Amino acid sequence: MNRLTDISNMVESLSRIYHRLRKEINGQLINEGLSMSKMKILHLITTGKTSATDIKNYMGFSSRTVVTVLDALEKDEMLRRQQSLTDRRVKYVYITEKGRDKLRVAEDTHNIILDRIFSLLSDVQLKSFREVCNLLEIQQKNNMAK
Protein backbone atom coordinates (compact mmCIF):
# COMPACT_ATOMS: atom_id res chain seq x y z
CA MET A 1 0.00 0.00 0.00
CA ASN A 2 1.14 3.51 -0.63
CA ARG A 3 1.33 6.13 2.11
CA LEU A 4 -1.87 7.99 1.20
CA THR A 5 -3.90 4.80 0.99
CA ASP A 6 -2.52 3.71 4.35
CA ILE A 7 -3.37 7.10 5.91
CA SER A 8 -6.84 7.01 4.39
CA ASN A 9 -7.44 3.54 5.83
CA MET A 10 -6.27 4.67 9.28
CA VAL A 11 -8.58 7.70 9.19
CA GLU A 12 -11.53 5.50 8.18
CA SER A 13 -10.67 3.08 10.98
CA LEU A 14 -10.48 5.91 13.53
CA SER A 15 -13.82 7.22 12.32
CA ARG A 16 -15.47 3.80 12.72
CA ILE A 17 -13.92 3.36 16.18
CA TYR A 18 -15.09 6.81 17.27
CA HIS A 19 -18.64 6.32 16.01
CA ARG A 20 -18.96 2.89 17.64
CA LEU A 21 -17.54 4.29 20.88
CA ARG A 22 -19.91 7.27 20.80
CA LYS A 23 -22.87 4.98 20.05
CA GLU A 24 -21.99 2.69 22.97
CA ILE A 25 -21.48 5.56 25.40
CA ASN A 26 -24.67 7.31 24.29
CA GLY A 27 -26.54 4.02 24.63
CA GLN A 28 -25.44 3.78 28.26
CA LEU A 29 -25.96 7.47 29.05
CA ILE A 30 -29.52 7.49 27.71
CA ASN A 31 -30.51 5.72 30.94
CA GLU A 32 -29.46 8.88 32.78
CA GLY A 33 -31.23 11.18 30.31
CA LEU A 34 -27.89 12.24 28.88
CA SER A 35 -25.71 11.94 25.81
CA MET A 36 -22.00 12.58 25.31
CA SER A 37 -22.83 16.10 24.11
CA LYS A 38 -24.98 16.85 27.15
CA MET A 39 -22.31 15.36 29.39
CA LYS A 40 -19.65 17.62 27.82
CA ILE A 41 -21.87 20.66 28.28
CA LEU A 42 -22.56 19.82 31.93
CA HIS A 43 -18.83 19.33 32.46
CA LEU A 44 -18.08 22.67 30.79
CA ILE A 45 -20.52 24.60 32.96
CA THR A 46 -18.98 23.22 36.16
CA THR A 47 -16.10 25.64 35.53
CA GLY A 48 -18.20 28.68 36.46
CA LYS A 49 -19.76 31.49 34.42
CA THR A 50 -20.62 30.00 31.06
CA SER A 51 -22.84 31.48 28.37
CA ALA A 52 -24.57 29.79 25.46
CA THR A 53 -22.01 31.45 23.18
CA ASP A 54 -19.17 29.89 25.20
CA ILE A 55 -20.83 26.49 24.79
CA LYS A 56 -21.41 27.07 21.06
CA ASN A 57 -17.76 27.96 20.52
CA TYR A 58 -16.45 25.07 22.62
CA MET A 59 -18.72 22.42 21.15
CA GLY A 60 -18.77 23.72 17.57
CA PHE A 61 -22.58 23.51 17.51
CA SER A 62 -25.02 25.91 15.88
CA SER A 63 -26.81 28.39 18.14
CA ARG A 64 -30.07 26.55 17.57
CA THR A 65 -28.57 23.21 18.65
CA VAL A 66 -27.11 24.76 21.81
CA VAL A 67 -30.45 26.34 22.74
CA THR A 68 -32.27 23.04 22.13
CA VAL A 69 -29.83 21.10 24.32
CA LEU A 70 -29.86 23.75 27.05
CA ASP A 71 -33.67 23.78 27.01
CA ALA A 72 -33.72 19.99 27.49
CA LEU A 73 -31.16 20.11 30.32
CA GLU A 74 -33.05 22.94 32.01
CA LYS A 75 -36.37 21.08 31.66
CA ASP A 76 -34.71 18.06 33.34
CA GLU A 77 -33.47 20.41 36.11
CA MET A 78 -29.80 19.69 35.40
CA LEU A 79 -28.97 23.35 34.80
CA ARG A 80 -30.40 26.78 35.36
CA ARG A 81 -30.04 30.00 33.43
CA GLN A 82 -29.48 33.40 34.97
CA GLN A 83 -29.54 36.79 33.31
CA SER A 84 -26.24 38.68 33.32
CA LEU A 85 -26.32 41.68 35.63
CA THR A 86 -24.16 43.72 33.26
CA ASP A 87 -25.43 42.67 29.81
CA ARG A 88 -29.11 41.89 29.35
CA ARG A 89 -28.38 40.03 26.08
CA VAL A 90 -26.39 37.38 27.98
CA LYS A 91 -27.68 34.54 30.12
CA TYR A 92 -25.25 32.44 32.09
CA VAL A 93 -25.75 28.74 32.56
CA TYR A 94 -25.09 26.99 35.87
CA ILE A 95 -25.18 23.32 36.77
CA THR A 96 -27.63 22.21 39.46
CA GLU A 97 -27.03 19.59 42.13
CA LYS A 98 -29.12 17.14 40.10
CA GLY A 99 -26.91 17.97 37.09
CA ARG A 100 -23.77 17.30 39.15
CA ASP A 101 -25.16 13.94 40.28
CA LYS A 102 -26.04 12.94 36.72
CA LEU A 103 -22.64 14.16 35.49
CA ARG A 104 -20.82 11.99 38.05
CA VAL A 105 -22.74 8.90 36.93
CA ALA A 106 -22.21 9.78 33.26
CA GLU A 107 -18.47 10.34 33.72
CA ASP A 108 -18.13 7.03 35.57
CA THR A 109 -19.96 5.23 32.74
CA HIS A 110 -17.83 7.05 30.15
CA ASN A 111 -14.61 6.13 31.95
CA ILE A 112 -15.55 2.46 32.34
CA ILE A 113 -16.20 2.15 28.60
CA LEU A 114 -13.02 4.03 27.64
CA ASP A 115 -10.96 1.95 30.05
CA ARG A 116 -12.35 -1.28 28.60
CA ILE A 117 -11.69 -0.22 25.00
CA PHE A 118 -8.23 1.25 25.55
CA SER A 119 -7.07 -1.48 27.95
CA LEU A 120 -5.80 -3.35 24.89
CA LEU A 121 -3.07 -0.73 24.48
CA SER A 122 0.13 -0.83 26.48
CA ASP A 123 1.29 2.33 28.24
CA VAL A 124 3.85 2.87 25.47
CA GLN A 125 1.22 2.46 22.73
CA LEU A 126 -1.14 4.79 24.55
CA LYS A 127 1.60 7.40 24.93
CA SER A 128 2.45 7.13 21.21
CA PHE A 129 -1.23 7.42 20.26
CA ARG A 130 -1.60 10.53 22.47
CA GLU A 131 1.49 12.10 20.89
CA VAL A 132 0.19 11.44 17.38
CA CYS A 133 -3.22 12.90 18.26
CA ASN A 134 -1.60 15.98 19.82
CA LEU A 135 0.62 16.56 16.79
CA LEU A 136 -2.31 16.26 14.38
CA GLU A 137 -4.44 18.59 16.50
CA ILE A 138 -1.69 21.20 16.67
CA GLN A 139 -1.22 21.01 12.90
CA GLN A 140 -4.96 21.36 12.36
CA LYS A 141 -5.16 24.42 14.64
CA ASN A 142 -2.20 26.00 12.88
CA ASN A 143 -3.75 25.39 9.47
CA MET A 144 -7.06 26.88 10.61
CA ALA A 145 -5.29 29.99 11.93
CA LYS A 146 -3.75 30.70 8.50
Decide if 103 contacts 42 (C-beta within 8 A): yes
* Percent residues over pLDDT 90 in the chain: 85
Query: Per the structure, how many domains does the chain have?
Result: 1
Whether the per-residue pLDDT at 141 is higher than 90: the answer is no
Mean pLDDT, to the nearest integer, of 100-108?
95
Expressed as residue numbers, the domain containing 18 is 3-145
Whether the per-residue pLDDT at 88 is higher than 80: the answer is yes
pLDDT at residue 1 in the model:
67
CATH of the domain at 16: 1.10.10.10
Whether the per-residue pLDDT at 98 is higher than 90: the answer is yes
> In this predicted model, what pLDDT tens digit does every residue of 8-65 receive, in sequence order?
999 999 999 999 999 999 999 998 889 999 999 999 999 878 999 999 999 999 999 9
What is the chain's mean pLDDT, rounded?
A: 93
How much is the pTM?
A: 0.81
